[in-house]
Every structure is written in structure tokens, then in C-alpha cells.
Amino acid sequence: MKPSFPVTRDTERRARVLITPEGIALPLTIASRGSRAGALMLDITFIVSGLIIFHLLLFWIAGGLFESALAGLEPPTGALEFLQIMLVLLVFSTWYGYFLVQELGPRGATLGKRLVGIRVAARGGGRLTAEAVIARNLLRDIEVFYPLVFILVLLASNSVEEDITTLAWAATIWFALFLLFPFFNRDALRAGDIIAGTWVVESTRVKLGDVLSTKGAAAARGASAVTGARYEFGEPELAIYGEKELQTLERMLRDASPEALAAVQDTICRKIGWNPGAGDERAFLEAFYAKLRAKLESDMRFGKRKADKFS
């Protein structure tokens, strides 16, 4: 099985197979570490900017309360105290609730994850439970924020040339281990994923492409719209290419430019010993695609598969 996009070695390394209860093998792709970091940065940006906007709004509406309290003129009033409590609770619940509520939703992803196109899933194909989502989010602080704080403190004290104690170094290195945890395992699990039994996978969303064999020269009685010619191919001409080339051709037919199609026609004609014409590339390729696919699929039904032109 080859996906329709160029397979790099990286995506191949991240491919996993999940067996559903129906016994269907579903391919999954582990989210790359870069996209996860990007999603986290997006999420933090949303949280922080949301909180800042909320605070600004609050100051704009109830600014007078804070001014009199800051000037120390009078003891804090009930209204001010209420606001302070609301703020503390709001910050706390935003910090933890943002991730929890969204990852428990039907999409299993925060806004940042959705934008990047990844989601949380239970490792090994079970249900994603509330406990798992809670567990993976409780560890985020020590994995990401404490290390960053420690590294920043270290950099700051380094720049003012203070002595850095060995304890600070040790703590920073120790926390950095958590930060770098996803680089130490194959599935890019962070510590929170390990204790929650989850992983983060790419959530695919694919539009169904058109049926190629009903259009143009590929159709049953189809002929070239330009010349009216019908292309026929013999057994030896169709025996050259395999599935990989067929699917490359499919991709070209779906979205390549006419110039690219001309180049492909040229290559194919040389390979099968034809004289390439000009101006009717699309019809030629459509007909060749339909015939080649018909042959490979009928071979497939007899259990004969040809992966590519070398096999």
C-alpha cells in the first residue's frame, strides 16, 4: 500500500498500524515532534493572549476599584475582593481546563492541535478515557514549563556573570531531560503520554477524488476529445510498469500541469517503444492509465501483484 503523497523516510518511520475490533488494519501516522511543539506554542499563545485581553477588559470596566486599592487609600472592598478571587480561579482553571475540556471533546484535540492537524488517541487502540486525558495534562508543567523557566534563569544569571551553583545546573539538566523526553523514544511520547497510555497521531481528513476511469479517454467508449483517436495497448506494452508507477501517473492526472504531462508522455512512449505525438497528451495518458490499471487489477484478482517496474 502506497499513500498518494510522496513518501519520505521520515513519514515511513512514523507509520504505525492499528487493528480495529473488526480486524481492519488502519494505518496511523505518529505526529512529528515539530508539529506537536508548534501546536503547543499555538495553544499557549491562545491562552496567554486570551487572559491578557480578559484582564485588559476587566481593568477597563472596573479600573477605578483597582486604583483606589493600589493607592492604599481604603481597605479592599467586597467587589474588589470578589474580582481578585475570580481572577485567581480563572487563571487556574484556564491553565488546566483549556487542555482538558478540548481533548475530552469528540475531536480529541486542542485548538492548536486541530490547526496543525493532530489529535490525541489511546495507545493500542482502546478508548480515550477521561482519566487518560487528565493524567497526560497534569504532567505538562514539569515537562515543559519548569525546564523553560530553569533554562531562562540560567541564561539570565549567566549574562550578569553571577556564579551558577552546581545545584542550578543539576536541576536544569534534570528538567531538560523531561523536555527532551520525546526524542528518546520511537513514538515521540512525552512523559505525560507514557503515564496516560496515550499518543498523538496525525488526524487525516481526505477529500474523495474523482473517478478517473469514467472521464475522457479512460472511459469505456472514451476517445480523445482532440483527435478522436482511441488508444489501444498490447500485452507487452502494459507489462512494463507496476503499481507504484500507476499511482504516480494517477497523481499526475489529478493535478499536474500540461507541461508535466507532456514530459510523462514522452518518458512512457520511449519506454514502450512508441513515437510520442504532441497536443494529445492528456487523452493518451488517460487511456494508458485505464488500461494499465485494468491489467494490474485483473492480475491482482489472481493473486499476482507487481509493486513497481523493477519487480
Partner 1 sequence: MNSPRISSWFGRGAIAAPADIASATLRSDKFRIEREGEWRRLEAIITRMERGGLRRIEDDDLLALPTLYRTAASSLAVARETSLDSATLTYLEALVQRAWFQVYGPRQGFARWLRAFLLGGWSRAVREIWLDICIALFVMVAGAVVGWLLVAQDENWYYRLVPGGLADTRVPGATREQLLATLASEESAVGLSSFAAQLFSNNSAVSILAFALGFAFGIPSLLLLVHNMAVLGALLWLFDGQGLVVELAAWLSVHGTTELFGILLAGAAGLHIGRTMAFPGSRSVLDAAGEAGQRGAVVMVGVVIMMIIAAFLEAFPRQLVDGTGPRFLIGGAMLTFWLAYFVLYRPAQPEEASR
Does 139 help bind partner 1 (rule: CB under 8 A)? yes
- As to burial, measured by CB atoms within 10 angstroms (0-12 exposed, 13-18 middle, 19+ buried), residue 284 is buried
CB of 61 to partner 1, least distance (A): 19
Q: Which of residues 286-305 bind partner 1 (CB under 8 A)?
A: 290, 293-294, 296-297, 300-301
Nearer residue to partner 1 within complex by CB, 206 or 278: 206
Number of residues that bind partner 1 (CB under 8 A): 90
Amino acid 104 reads L
Binding partner 1 (rule: CB under 8 A), the pick from 44, 141, 157, 176 is 141
Q: Which of residues 43-72 bind partner 1 (CB under 8 A)?
A: none
The residue whose grid cell reads 528538567 is 175
Among the listed residues 249, 273, 272, the one whose alpha carbon sits nearest the alpha carbon of residue 261: 249
Q: Which of residues 99-128 bind partner 1 (CB under 8 A)?
A: 101, 104-108, 114-117, 119, 121, 123, 125-128
Q: For every residue of 158-176, which 3-state class applies, written as one string?
A: HHCCCCCCHHHHHHHHHHH
Binding partner 1 (rule: CB under 8 A), the pick from 191, 238, 239, 256 is 191
Does 94 help bind partner 1 (rule: CB under 8 A)? no
CB of 246 to partner 1, least distance (A): 6
> Cβ neighbours of residue 116 under 8 Å, at least 6 residues apart?
31, 35, 36, 38, 39, 42
Q: Which of residues 260-289 bind partner 1 (CB under 8 A)?
A: none
Binding partner 1 (rule: CB under 8 A), the pick from 45, 68, 165, 204 is 204
CB of 267 to partner 1, least distance (A): 20
x/- letters, 168..187, toward partner 1 (CB under 8 A):
----------x---------
Q: Mark the segment that binds partner 1 (CB under 8 A) among 55-63, 148-156, 212-220, 259-267.
A: 212-220
Q: Which of residues 70-89 bind partner 1 (CB under 8 A)?
A: 75-76, 81-82, 84-85, 88-89
CB of 181 to partner 1, least distance (A): 9
Nearer residue to partner 1 within complex by CB, 203 or 224: 203
CB of 39 to partner 1, least distance (A): 12
Q: How far apart are CA 239 and CA 222, in angstroms?
A: 22
Kindly give the residue spans of alpha helices, DSSP state H, lying in the chain.
9-13, 33-70, 78-104, 111-116, 130-138, 140, 146-159, 166-179, 191-196, 235-238, 243-255, 258-272, 281-301
The residue whose grid cell reads 475490533 is 21
Is residue 289 a contact partner of residue 246, using CB atoms and an 8 Å limit? yes
Q: Which of residues 223-252 bind partner 1 (CB under 8 A)?
A: 243, 246-247, 250-251
> Cβ neighbours of residue 230 under 8 Å, at least 6 residues apart?
217, 222, 223, 224, 287
Q: How far apart are CA 121 and CA 15, in angstroms?
A: 15
